[in-house]
Amino acid sequence: MLSIVENNLDYLIVEKPPEVSFHNQQETLGLQQRLEQQTQIKLWPVHRLDKITSGLVIFAKSAPAAAIFGELFEKRQVKKVYLAISDKKPKKKMGKICGDMVKARSGSWKLTLNKSNPAISEFRSQSLSPGIRLFAIKPTTGKTHQIRVALKSIGSPILGDARYGGTESDRGYLHSYSLEFMWQEQLKRYHVLPSSGQYFLHSSMANLTNKLVESFS
């Protein structure tokens, strides 16, 4: 059973498990199909997460609601924070990562020094345990593989992210932690800590996450 965080008249927010594809793959149901079977509701996806990524995903319950979400995302009015872990020391512990993204080999992407249509991510980080670093990332844009490429560019590929040079681990350590947006003139805030992964389940995760996220303010 998928964990549903919000279920109201207009939309549903689910906690996506890691290693679940958004769409069907051969005989394996994707996230949307699994959720529709579980809820018996037709859903409209309004954004997506990579297969390795866990955490919060919004589905609209109607085409008009999906159109509103589409406008919110287009105008960058949905604020998102992701959590990631790396076992590689970053070139800098906090700041902004900005640059154009171009296609590399086999479906991967890379960051360039050009800034004509840049991917922009702000981040903070702190040691979680010896040799393990927790990152909180606040993307301004929503490019494919943006956070994975951004952390690789500062020398800290995500743990378990083989595509971008991350060390092999029990999962890909990227998680959609929080979403914030206005809906019917009300501010909506949702957040959920990761529920799997030996490092994400570290006893200091909650306190350290709060500290890093609050530092964005």
Return the active site residues: 50
Q: How many CB atoms lie within 10 A of CB 212?
A: 22
Q: Which of 25, 16, 58, 30 is nearest to 174 (CA)?
A: 16
Contacts 24+ apart (CB under 8 A), 73-77: 73/46, 73/47, 73/142, 76/140, 76/141, 77/181, 77/182
In contact, 82 and 193? CB cutoff 8 Å = no
Q: What's the CA gap between 68 and 46, in Å, rounded?
A: 9
Phi, psi of 22 (to 5 degrees): -70, -40
Q: What's the CA gap between 24 and 44, in Å, rounded?
A: 15
Q: What's the CA gap between 139 and 75, in Å, rounded?
A: 13
